[in-house]
Amino acid sequence: MGGGAAGFFLSARLKRLLPEARVVLFERSSRVLAKVKVSGGGRCNLTNSFAGVSDLCHVYPRGHKLMKRLLREFSHEDAYCWFETHGVPLTTQEDECVFPQSQNSESVILCLKREAESAGVEIRTGCPVQSIERSDNGGLQLVFDGGATTPCLFDRVALTTGGAPRGEGHDWLSALGHKIEKPCPSLYTFNINTPALTSLMGIVVENVSVGIAATKFRAEGALLITHWGVSGPAILRLSSYAARYMDEQAYEVPLLINWTGETNVEQVAQELRNLQNEAPRRQLGNLHPFGLQNRLWVYLLERAGLTSEKPCGELGSKGINRLVHVLTSDSYAVAGKGAYRDEFVTCGGVSLESVSMRTLESKSCPGLYFAGEVLDIDAVTGGFNFQAAWTTAYVAAGAIAASLEN
């Protein structure tokens, strides 16, 4: 159920493993693989080299334990190799994100479609599955919205319906005994109503550290000032780490920005003192500490109550303290999440407690399997979400095939 990344990968693999089985992929809309199409800005960041990943919990805030286990069966290297051997040459960017060499998601779509069709998967679009019921003979009956005309009794069903930030389709899953982790959005930008900040739109600070005050949520990376607030990898990462908390707080939280990326506050103070000693008569506005762009630096001076014209030597320890505070703990009230949706995933979904860690089969409804974003697994940006789709689909397909062979 669900003709997205996970659904295609799973059904194609299953049909290859069990050529004699009838494998049908039902998609509710008229178009399959719609998210693959728009992913990665139309280029599809389909996995990551994982070279910069020291611990999976940094990239999979939800589901890292399960991913650790499942990646042993189908890793990013396996995904890389799979796509290359199925006619999609890939390239790994400097930031470790993997894209098709064509820089066009269409290559991935064509590959998945070709693979499913050549394996013999029947693809049915315009088939919105409403629920599943267990039939008297032990099979699983698909119930379609608006009544079905298709024969729809199956021995096994895989649910690959993707994320549902408003919990669509979760009622019947709960009724079948599955625990649902409350869904909420992840990977979004922050709105900030501070005109002096947003007037700096377009400025990118390469290495900031951001966090939510009075919590442990912190993230690092580049930050982009936008006309509505802040964006960029550091903010998207923070939105992912704090997805549930932010939802509970109705997206109104105090955001802390360390513009220097230097977490040692004393180090920041020392650097300012050094500048002061080196050129006491130089005006503050003419300094370029921490690689900050001049417009941003002048703005931060103003936030610290200092004028650009003030000579460095007149900063005094109070001035240094105020400046250090603004540089390392600049605080803004987040006023909602941004509407900009470059990448957007659902945090929550079918609880991992409700599925077998080994097979991804439902614990309460034998014969029903899960893969992809419908599960309570989600990642930061960088190709990790698609990797979760490939990996879980691979494992579920293998488990379904094994269960039918036995």
Ligand X SMILES: Cc1cc2nc3c(=O)[nH]c(=O)nc-3n(C[C@H](O)[C@H](O)[C@H](O)COP(=O)(O)OP(=O)(O)OC[C@H]3O[C@@H](n4cnc5c(N)ncnc54)[C@H](O)[C@@H]3O)c2cc1C
| Of residues 319 and 382, the one with the C-beta less far from ligand X | 382
Per-residue DSSP letter, 370: E
Alpha carbons 219 and 376: distance in angstroms, whole number: 21
Q: Which residues, 278 to 337, sit near ligand X by CB under 6 A?
A: none
Q: How far is the CB of 250 from ligand X (least distance, A)?
A: 22
Burial class of residue 89 in the structure, from the number of CB atoms within 10 Å of its CB (0-12 exposed, 13-18 middle, 19+ buried)? exposed
| Of residues 157 and 345, the one with the C-beta less far from ligand X | 345
Among 21-29, 201-209, 236-244, 269-277, the segment contacting ligand X (CB under 6 A): 21-29
Which phi and psi angles does 2 have, rounded to 5°?
110, 110
Which residues contact residue 196 at a Cβ distance below 8 angstroms, ignoring those fewer than 6 apart? 299, 302, 303
Tell whether residue 35 is a contact of ligand X (CB under 6 A).
Answer: yes
What tokens does 75 get? Answer: 């890793």
Among 61-69, 149-157, 178-186, 340-348, the segment contacting ligand X (CB under 6 A): 340-348
Contact assessment for residue 401 and residue 361, using Cβ atoms and an 8 Å cutoff: no
Among 191-199, 222-230, 307-315, 380-388, the segment contacting ligand X (CB under 6 A): 380-388
The residue nearest ligand X at its CB is 4
Burial class of residue 230 in the structure, from the number of CB atoms within 10 Å of its CB (0-12 exposed, 13-18 middle, 19+ buried)? buried
Tell whether residue 160 is a contact of ligand X (CB under 6 A).
Answer: yes
Give the closest residue to 382 by CA, choosing from 58, 11, 140, 37: 58
| Of residues 304 and 379, the one with the C-beta less far from ligand X | 379
DSSP 130-168: EEEEE-TTS-EEEEETT---S--EES-EEE-----TT-T
Q: How far is the CB of 301 from ligand X (least distance, A)?
A: 38
| Of residues 170 and 303, the one with the C-beta less far from ligand X | 170
Sole binder of ligand X in the list 107, 276, 354, 385 (CB under 6 A): 385
Among 212-220, 237-245, 341-349, 351-359, the segment contacting ligand X (CB under 6 A): 341-349
Q: How far is the CB of 48 from ligand X (least distance, A)?
A: 8
Task: Give CA angle at 310 (309, 312), nearest 5°.
Answer: 125
Which phi and psi angles does 285 have, rounded to 5°?
-65, -20
Q: How far is the CB of 241 from ligand X (least distance, A)?
A: 17
Sole binder of ligand X in the list 247, 330, 343, 361 (CB under 6 A): 343
Tell whether residue 39 is a contact of ligand X (CB under 6 A).
Answer: yes
Sole binder of ligand X in the list 183, 221, 233, 383 (CB under 6 A): 383
Tell whether residue 24 is a contact of ligand X (CB under 6 A).
Answer: no
Which residues contact residue 84 at a Cβ distance below 8 angstroms, ignoring those fewer than 6 apart? 90
Mark residue 396 as left, alpha or beta (left: phi above 0; alpha: psi -120 to 50; beta: remaining): alpha
| Of residues 7 and 232, the one with the C-beta less far from ligand X | 7
Contact assessment for residue 296 and residue 226, using Cβ atoms and an 8 Å cutoff: no
Tell whether residue 162 is a contact of ligand X (CB under 6 A).
Answer: yes
The contact pattern for ligand X, residues 108-137, with x = CB under 6 A and - = no contact, is --------------------xx--------
Alpha carbons 362 and 374: distance in angstroms, whole number: 13
Sole binder of ligand X in the list 50, 82, 369, 386 (CB under 6 A): 386
Q: What is the largest CA-CA distance in the chain?
A: 88
What tokens does 345 get? Answer: 């995933």
Tell whether residue 93 is a contact of ligand X (CB under 6 A).
Answer: no
Among 53-61, 147-155, 297-305, 339-347, the segment contacting ligand X (CB under 6 A): 339-347
Give the closest residue to 166 by CA, choosing from 28, 348, 32: 348
Among 114-122, 150-158, 283-291, 383-391, the segment contacting ligand X (CB under 6 A): 383-391
Tell whether residue 161 is a contact of ligand X (CB under 6 A).
Answer: yes
Chain contacts with ligand X (rule: CB under 6 A) = 1-7, 26-29, 34-35, 38-40, 44-45, 128-129, 160-162, 169, 341, 343-345, 372-373, 383-386, 389
